[in-house]
Amino acid sequence: MYNSVSTKAEEFICDEEIEQVIDFSKKNYLDKEIINEILSKAENFEGLDYKEVAILLQCLKNKQDDVIDRVKKIAMKIKQHIYGNRIVFFAPLYLSNYCVNACRYCGYNHSNCNMKRKKLTQDEIKREIIALQDMGHKRLALETGEDPVNCPIDYVLESIKTIYSVKHKNGAIRRVNINIAGTTVENYKELKEAGIGTYILFQETYHKKTYEKMHPKGPKSNYAYHTESMDRAYQGGIDDVGIGVLYGLYDYMYDTIGMMMHIKHLEDTYGVGPHTISLPRMRFASGVDLHDYQNISDDIFFGIVAILRCAVPYTGMIISTRESKESRKELLKLGITQLSGGSCTGVGGYADSDKDEEDTQQFNVDDTRSLDTIMHDLCKDGYIPSFCTACYRSGRTGDRFMKLAKTGEISNVCQPNALMTLKEYIMDYASEETKKYANDLIEKEIQNIKDEKIKNTVKARLKLIENGDRDFKF
Ligand code: SF4
Ligand code: SF4
């Protein structure tokens, strides 16, 4: 029985309800009145529920191009209105690829004997952080395999401390997001106390049977424990979580509706939905045969992103370097607000960049541009690359953040913070070519700050940054 506030995974992600909603969408996706109602709701930034999302997904599946074109236009409008031109950057940092699980789609799979196993020492972590700071990164997503012996929670906590402690030249990692396996309430409490930003955990697929097939061994094989992880995270005091599915494992319609149900569960139960949604598609990884998966085309993927932007206008949406440069450019228009850049998906690959990282890599990356090249390309296209970490450091998380996001007030701080962190990047890390485009962009964008007081403060702070000061924030 479907119950959005149940504590049981199989009740808040209800298979029967998803199948019924898919059936309903099949019968109604041609109904113009229903479509118009859904689109006008989206246009008014009201968000969409999982039933409405199902109707739009059915239009996507059945090539109702006129509807999907309208969805894309609305997605672009929402993106521009709420987020403006800023794109937030982060880098993944892989600490350890030891893993006791056997996820079929992952190179770190316990059964993959070809994978070279490695765990960074605290000194190696410091070297990685220095390399990341030298690129200009301020925000990390920490990644580890699940292994209570080789990678216990104490190691993760010690590593977070190490990361925050490294101050190299003008660099600093100001926000550490964590992507580790579902764990206990006690461990979530400790992560919260260690000062993490977002706790990220992908569901991979909401379809229980497929989930069990994809995760045949190890603690992650327990569907309920994994699906209820965010509940335990909230109970441990974490109010900033990131979710995602891995597109390609099961039917995209089922998984997107499942993800919308998960969002509803978190909103209805804890009063605040996820801060971010990550949108990975299956990629080749060591020991993985892509023929075993039902990967989705660019057209479908772009459509899903646009539908989600309409459905959750206030949630950050993330695309990693799994996607190509061309796809990422397209996806930015449709609602993506965060990108990774210059990423290494192996253990220890930032400091030893000439070493072949492939033997410790979780999956292959497609966008292999350096961070500076991405900065350059984005500035040229009129986006403001941002290294802002202000919200979490100012206590703007959970429902406090959502209130600001929903009233649109957040954009009053996002854009100035983006300009100031971009200026820091220009002063400390940018190539001459990037500097030129980025400085022109700042000059232009500063005129778009509506509040005169904020505009003048930003101007003054930009001067101070030129003179060597760092880390201003609103
Ligand atoms: Fe381990 Fe995570 Fe890879 Fe699964 S996805 S094998 S849990 S690292
Ligand atoms: Fe993100 Fe907050 Fe910075 Fe905006 S101000 S970019 S929401 S951290």
Tell which one of 86, 315, 400, 413 to mutate to probe ligand 2, the residue whose CB is within 8 A of the most ligand atoms.
413
How many Å lie between the centroid of ligand 2 and the Cα of residue 389? 6
Tell which one of 95, 96, 99, 363 to mutate to probe ligand 1, the residue whose CB is within 8 A of the most ligand atoms.
99
How many Å lie between the centroid of ligand 1 and the Cα of residue 109? 6
Protein residue with its CA nearest to atom 4 in ligand 2: 414
Instruction: Calculate ∠ Cα 432-435-441, nearest 5°.
Output: 155
User: pLDDT value at position 355?
Assistant: 59
What is the three-class DSSP state of 26? Answer: helix
Q: In whole angstroms, what is the distance from residue 90 CA to residue 99 CA?
A: 24
Protein residue with its CA nearest to atom 6 in ligand 1: 109
Report the nearest atom of ligand 1 relative to the CA of 362.
Answer: 3
Give the number of the ligand closest to the Cα of residue 287: 1
How many Å lie between the centroid of ligand 2 and the Cα of residue 106? 31
User: pLDDT value at position 356?
Assistant: 56
* CATH node for 83-390: 3.20.20.70
State how far the alpha carbon of 140 is from the alpha carbons of 86, 133, 222, 223, 344, in Å. 18, 10, 28, 28, 12
Tell which one of 146, 178, 204, 363 to mutate to probe ligand 1, the residue whose CB is within 8 A of the most ligand atoms.
146
Domain boundaries, the chain: 13-79, 83-390, 402-466
User: pLDDT value at position 291?
Assistant: 83
How many Å lie between the centroid of ligand 1 and the Cα of residue 404? 35
Give the number of the ligand closest to the Cα of residue 215: 1
Tell which one of 391, 449, 472 to mutate to probe ligand 2, the residue whose CB is within 8 A of the most ligand atoms.
391
User: pLDDT value at position 342?
Assistant: 96
CB 8 within 8 A of CB 231: no
How many Å lie between the centroid of ligand 1 and the Cα of residue 144? 8
How many Å lie between the centroid of ligand 2 and the Cα of residue 18? 34
Q: In whole angstroms, what is the distance from residue 442 CA to residue 448 CA?
A: 10
Q: Is the CB of 146 under 6 A from ligand 1?
A: yes
Q: Is the CB of 386 under 6 A from ligand 1?
A: no
User: pLDDT value at position 104?
Assistant: 95
Q: What is the mean pLDDT of each run of 10 residues along the chain (474 residues)?
A: 97 98 98 98 97 98 98 96 94 98 95 94 98 98 97 98 97 98 98 97 98 97 98 97 97 98 98 96 87 90 98 96 96 97 94 70 89 98 97 90 84 94 98 98 96 97 98 96
Q: Is the CB of 109 under 6 A from ligand 1?
A: yes
In DSSP notation, 222-279 reads: -HHHHHTHHHHHHHTT---EEEEB-BTSS-HHHHHHHHHHHHHHHHHHHS---SEEE-
State how far the alpha carbon of 308 is from the alpha carbons of 107, 113, 331, 402, in Å. 29, 38, 12, 17
Neighbours of 65 (CB within 10 A): 12
Phi, psi (degrees; rounded to nearest 5) at 245: -115, 160
Q: What beta strand segments (E) does 97-154 contain?
A: 139-144
Q: Which two tokens stand for residue 198?
A: 């977002």
In DSSP notation, 367-425 reads: ----HHHHHHHHHHTT-EEE---HHHHTT--HHHHHHHHHTTTTHHHHHHHHHHHHHHH
Report the nearest atom of ligand 1 relative to the CA of 144.
Answer: 8
Q: In whole angstroms, what is the distance from residue 93 CA to residue 418 CA?
A: 23
Give the number of the ligand closest to the Cα of residue 145: 1
Q: In whole angstroms, what is the distance from residue 386 CA to residue 207 CA?
A: 36
Report the nearest atom of ligand 1 relative to the CA of 181.
Answer: 7
> How far out from the chain centre does Cα 147 lie?
24
Sequence-separated contacts (24+) of 444-451 with Cβ below 8 Å: 445/85, 445/384, 445/415, 445/419, 446/419, 448/84, 448/415, 449/415, 449/416, 450/412, 451/412
Protein residue with its CA nearest to atom 3 in ligand 2: 388
**pTM here?**
0.97
Burial-class residue 134 by CB neighbours within 10 Å (0-12, 13-18, 19+). Answer: middle
Q: In whole angstroms, what is the distance from residue 153 CA to residue 305 CA?
A: 34
Tell which one of 240, 388, 400 to mutate to probe ligand 2, the residue whose CB is within 8 A of the most ligand atoms.
388
Residue closest to 360 by CA, chosen among 140, 112, 105, 90: 112
Give the number of the ligand closest to the Cα of residue 417: 2
How many Å lie between the centroid of ligand 1 and the Cα of residue 320? 17
Residues with CB under 6 A from ligand 2: 88, 386, 388-391, 410, 413-414, 417
Q: In whole angstroms, what is the distance from residue 72 CA to residue 52 CA?
A: 15
List the beta bridge partners of residue 92: 141
Q: Which two tokens stand for residue 414?
A: 């996002």
